Structures are given as C-alpha cells and as structure tokens.
Amino acid sequence: MDKKIARVFPRKTNATPEDDLVFFGPPPLLILPEIDEVHISVTFTYDKQRAEELAEDWRWAGVPVKLGGPAYDDPATGEFIPGRYLKEGYTITSRGCNNRCWFCLAPRREGKLRELEIKDGWDVLDNNLLQCSEGHIRSVFEMLKRQPKRPKFTGGLEAKELKPWHCDLLYESRAQRMYFAYDTPDDYEPLVEAGKMLRAAGITTRSHVAACYNLIGYLGDTFDKAQERMEQTIKAGFMPYAMLYRDEAGKVDKEWAKFQREWLRPAIVSHMFGEAWNDG
C-alpha cells in the first residue's frame, strides 16, 4: 500500500500540488489526516531557514520528517512521481544536463543528463529535453498527444540543440508555449537560427508561443546590456521573459527588480514586438 505522505512547502507557487496532504505551515491544530511520513520540500535556498523551522513544528506528528528538495542539492535519483511535489499536469522526463553553465545548479545537483520513464503531463519541466535521444524525445511527444491540454515546455528548450525534426514535432503538438534562453552572448546566434527553423516549420514566432528566458542582474551585468539582450530576443522572434538573478540568500537589487517588472509588462513588450516586426 502506498505511503500517505504529507508534503510541506515553505511557499506556494503555480506548480505546488493542491491535494489534501499539502501544507504551507505548521500542522493543523485540530484534525491532522492520517499520515505515514512528512516531507518538507524546498526549492529555493533562501527558504531553508523557514523549512527547518517547519521541520521542527512537524516532529510532534510522531512520524518520520524528511527535509529535502533542490535547495538541499537533492540529486533526484529516483523516478518522477506526478502530483507528489508538483501539481498534476507537470512532468519531468529527464534529469541533469550535459552543459556546465555557471549560473545553473542542475548539473551540479543531478549530474549528466539521464532519461527517465515518461509519465503523463502536459507541462514539461526537463532541464534540457533536446539533449535526450531521438527515441526518447519522440516518445515524449507521443505522450503529449493524449493529454487533455496543449503542451507547454516551461523547462526550456536549448536553441543550439534545436533541429528541424524537433520543430516539426513542436508544430504538430500545437504547443501553447515554448521557452528558449538567451543569458550570455554565445546564446544569441543559436537563438536567431532557432527562430528561423521554427518559422520554416510553420510556427509563428513574434508571438506569445515562442518565448525566451533572459537572465538579468548577475555580477557584471548592466541595464544597457540587459536591455540589448531583450531587444535582440525580440528581433530574433521571441517574447522575452526577464529572470532576475538571486544569490543563495535570495537578495535582489531594487533597481534590477524594477527593471524586471517593466519588462514583464505585456503592453511594453507587445509594443517592442510591434516595432521589431515593422523593422523586420
């Protein structure tokens, strides 16, 4: 019989599960459901102190309390279990990544890319799906065909790994959103080529379907450089999505936070899209 696991989270996000064994604070004072274990799941390093306080609060339940998650460098060696730590609809079909980007913790935590058993879901969160084998990728898209919603690729697709046959699969899937990334200068030319391949496959770029994460505010970054990356992203045919760099303490510069908010305003980005379309 499956264990009844209470999952406790320091904060709620769009991806947090919503079943009766999910909690965001100390255990309820009146009625606690029957449980076998408590898992304190921590995504962000700056939530670790709060998580450790919650772990102490939950010890009175008299069952084992485990503290883990990405913030504790969990290598995620097991199979992905839909609905346990992520809301139903999210899926992860591979772990790790073969790149060594300085700002990404996935290779350090999870190691080289490895393929997992494919579980149902329509929002794919793989670190680097396009590094997987062709057979695995095609199987993922077969799985997506039977889902009740059009797919999203929120985990991100690496532009330099993109091939025409990937674009054909993306077009056939009628994806509602796909994210690429432009964080450092060497990402730009692959992003331009990715835009060309997507358009050749019939996918309308310069829309909300083809989006792109842009890391901003890291050491050595400037507002001018970040602005240029965002504008170049639009010219390449992608909707930019500013991702503000945070250190392990979660600290952010107020001016960079303001810059991010401006670039997340749909009206501003749509206006820039219009200008890029007219220029192109």
pTM of this prediction exceeds 0.95: no
Mean pLDDT of 206-230: 90
Integer Rg of the chain from CA: 20
Amino acid identity of 165?
W
44 contacts 12 by C-beta, under 8 angstroms: no
Cβ count near 60 (within 10 Å): 11
The residues of the chain that CATH labels 3.80.30 are 76-279
When pLDDT is cut at 50, 70 and 90, the band that residue 205 belongs to is: low
Portion of the chain with pLDDT greater than 90, in percent: 74
Portion of the chain with pLDDT greater than 70, in percent: 93
Please report how many Cα atoms fall inside a 13 Å half-sphere around the Cα of residue 89, on the Cβ side: 14
The H or E element spanning position 78 is none
When pLDDT is cut at 50, 70 and 90, the band that residue 246 belongs to is: confident
Count the residues in the chain: 280
Amino acid identity of 89?
G
- 1, pLDDT greater than 60: no
178 contacts 170 by C-beta, under 8 angstroms: yes
CATH: 3.80.30, 3.30.2030, 1.10.10, 1.10.3470. Which one for 76-279?
3.80.30
- 111, pLDDT greater than 80: yes
Query: pLDDT averaged over the chain?
Result: 90
